[in-house]
């Protein structure tokens, strides 16, 4: 099994690293949070004093960081991790960031002969814990084949989207569409309820009809319809409004850079920005339904 360095142990990174341990890999972790490191130590990981110490001797380096500036800071420059790695190491950045930073890190890695993939994920905290994430990978074919070996311990759907940065583009497209069909689902359900329909019955009708979508099928946004959905648990995330707003901002950047007039995506971003402004950033993104209820 592989020697893995894992940098960034937040809500997603922590369970991902634990799944690698369960898969039999030797995992060394680093995070600024002592509590997060302690949790991984209890799960069987080694804890390093720094990111640089964590990557020593690693076959794979995996990072899960908040934003592009953090990824650039960790990997680039004379003190960055790329300068400390040999060509035998494969780098997998699973952060959701701007595509341009992923391309920049990928180019720097290629210049050093280091395999690099941006590999953002889809599925949320529940899938991270269950090891059923989807990975959208950007990089060359040889690095992808190496990546599959390790990503299989954390996910069940692993896609090669294209060259470096392509994973981020795929993630932006996916999450923009997710936001749009979640909002549409909320509007349809609220419209039905205000006209006397039972939201559970309406959901069943739409699931058997052309309106069927993921939000209806596994993440119903109407309270009480789906027992384990965040909507039935006070909109406890799940996938936070703050994260959806961030991802929609990245999607808007991709659209702008490529000249796409994505009006539905822009409206979705505006709605999630409103939710943030209302102090709901820590709630699940399906709580967009509450904006409609406020107009009742």
The catalytic residues are: 171
SS3 for 231-249 is: HHHCCCCCCEHHHHHHHHH
Burial (CB count <10 Å: 0-12, 13-18, 19+), residue 229: buried
Distances (CA, A) of 213 to 123, 220, 293: 15, 10, 22
| Best CA proximity match to 180, nearest among 259, 22, 288, 24 | 288
Contacts 24+ apart (CB under 8 A), 233-237: 235/283, 235/284, 235/286, 235/287, 235/290, 236/283, 236/284, 237/124, 237/125, 237/282, 237/283, 237/284, 237/285
Sign of CA dihedral 15, 124, 246, 167: positive
Q: Output phi, psi for 66, to 5 deg.
A: -70, -40
Q: Are strands 26-30 and 3-7 parallel, antiparallel or unpaired?
A: parallel
Distances (CA, A) of 266 to 63, 130, 180: 29, 32, 10
């Amino acid at each position: 099994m592989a020697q893995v360095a894992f940098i960034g142990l937040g809500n997603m990174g922590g369970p991902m690293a634990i799944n690698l341990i369960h898969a039999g890999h030797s995992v060394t972790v680093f995070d600024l949070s002592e509590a997060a490191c302690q949790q991984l130590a209890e799960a069987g990981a080694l804890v390093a004093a720094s990111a640089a110490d964590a990557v020593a001797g690693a076959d794979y380096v995996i990072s899960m960081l908040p934003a592009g500036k953090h990824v650039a800071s960790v990997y680039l420059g004379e003190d960055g991790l790329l300068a400390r790695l040999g060509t035998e190491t494969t780098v997998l950045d699973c952060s959701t960031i701007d595509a341009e930073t992923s391309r920049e890190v990928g180019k720097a890695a290629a210049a050093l002969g280091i395999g690099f993939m941006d590999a953002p994920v889809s599925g949320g905290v529940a899938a991270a814990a269950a090891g059923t994430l989807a990975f959208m990978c950007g990089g060359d074919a040889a690095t992808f084949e190496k990546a599959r070996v390790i990503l299989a311990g954390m996910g069940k759907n692993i896609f090669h989207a294209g060259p470096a940065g392509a994973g981020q583009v795929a993630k932006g497209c996916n999450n923009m569409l997710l936001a749009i069909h979640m909002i549409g689902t909320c509007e349809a359900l609220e419209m039905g309820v205000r006209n006397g329909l039972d939201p559970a019955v309406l959901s069943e009708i739409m699931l058997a009809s052309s309106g069927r979508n993921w939000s209806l099928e596994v993440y119903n946004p109407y309270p009480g319809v789906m027992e384990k959905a965040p909507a039935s648990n006070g909109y406890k995330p799940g996938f936070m409004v703050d994260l959806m707003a961030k991802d929609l901002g990245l999607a808007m950047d991709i659209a702008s850079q490529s000249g796409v007039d994505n009006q539905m995506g822009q409206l979705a971003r505006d709605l999630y920005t409103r939710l943030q402004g209302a102090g709901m950033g820590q709630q699940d993104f399906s709580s967009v339904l509450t904006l409609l209820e406020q107009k009742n």
